[in-house]
Amino acid sequence: MNPSEQSAEHDLSLIHPESGPVDLESVLAAWSEATDRLQCTHETLRAQVKRLTDELKIKNRELARKNRLADLGQMASHIAHEVRNSLMPMTLYSSLLRRRLSDDLGSQDVLDKIDSGFTALHTTVNDLLHFTSDREPQFLAFIVGDLVGEVCDSLSPQLQAQGVAIDIDVPRDISVLADRGMIRCLLINLVMNALDAMPDGGDLVITGCAGPEGVELEVADSGAGIDENVREKMFEPFFTTKSSGTGLGLAIVGRIAEVHEAQLRVDNCFEGGAAITVRFPVQVMKAAA
């Protein structure tokens, strides 16, 4: 071994003096492994930064949307109160006029149309007031099946008139801790939305179940289903595909679900029609037990 080779071996042995000389191949392999780990770490960090950036954008859009809805809610609430205050005397005057013209059948037909318009305005005002209400939910435990039966009984005349058959499958032992009045309003709006999808009759199915993720309540219809573009906007206020309506029914559903920390899911059924599911968090089920 010449002096230069002895010097190189001596230099390498200084790196790990306990283990003796280290060959260059091992050093390169260790360096390559460390480089790969650094590259992997870099890719992981870059992916996390991208994920957090995307989440921040989504949160910012959601915050901007909530701010717009808050401003819209204040304006809508003011308008609703003003309209309702004007409707009350107008409805009274219409009633007085109907008495004076009780013998004039032609005038009675006109008054019927006026009353129909007043009723539609009352519905719009009530929807606006429900949507803009900032009332905190009053949490009480109640049986879900009892509420479903109550709502269906109240809507029974419309169900029969429209030729819609109803099937209720909600176990009697399911309870939730929620605002009963708000959930009643939510359920009524879901049922009315289902009825709108079946103008010529059909089947309405309401099911409930309790599982590890919480209590689920589903309202399904046998209508035409929901288009994908509509599904993305259907819970936005004033969005509607109907020729008449306020576009607030499902927005009210979304607002009530939000204050109860419940999740909404929209699906098109395999056999036709659509289903909207409300999932109450598992802690709501436990608290009501």
Shortest CA distance to 266 belongs to which of 226, 223, 239, 237?
Answer: 226
Shortest CA distance to 171 belongs to which of 124, 215, 129?
Answer: 215
What pLDDT does 114 receive? 82
Task: For residue range 227-241, list pLDDT tens digits in order.
Answer: 888 887 888 777 777
Domain boundaries in the chain?
1-134, 140-288
Task: For residue range 115-125, list pLDDT tens digits in order.
Answer: 777 776 776 67
Residue 189 pLDDT more than 50?
Answer: yes
Q: How confident is the model at residue 82 (pLDDT cuts 50, 70, 90)?
A: confident
Q: Pick the most confident of 17-26, 124-133, 206-215.
A: 206-215
What pLDDT does 228 receive? 81
Crossing angle of the two packed helices 249-259 and 105-132, in degrees rounded to 10: 30
The region of weakest confidence among 3-12, 55-64, 239-248 is 3-12
Residue 15 pLDDT more than 50?
Answer: no
Residue 110 pLDDT more than 90?
Answer: no
Residue 216 pLDDT more than 60?
Answer: yes
Mean pLDDT, residues 271-287: 79
Strands 263-268 and 214-221: unpaired
Question: What count of other Cβ atoms lies within 10 Å of the Cβ of residue 23?
Answer: 10
Number of residues that make up the chain: 289
What pLDDT does 164 receive? 93
Residue 147, H or E segment? helix 144-154
Residue 6 pLDDT more than 60?
Answer: no
Q: How confident is the model at residue 205 (pLDDT cuts 50, 70, 90)?
A: very high
Residue 135 pLDDT more than 80?
Answer: no
**55 vs 121 pLDDT, higher one:** 55
Strand-pairing partners, residue 165, are: 203
Residue 12 pLDDT more than 80?
Answer: no
Enumerate residues 6+ apart whose C-beta is below 8 A from 78: none
Strands 214-221 and 202-211: antiparallel
- Answer for the pair 158, 199: CB distance below 8 angstroms, yes or no: no
Q: How confident is the model at residue 133 (pLDDT cuts 50, 70, 90)?
A: low
Q: What is the CATH number of domain 140-288?
A: 3.30.565.10
Rounded to the nearest integer, the mean pLDDT of the chain is 80
Residue 4 pLDDT more than 60?
Answer: no
Residue 46 pLDDT more than 80?
Answer: yes
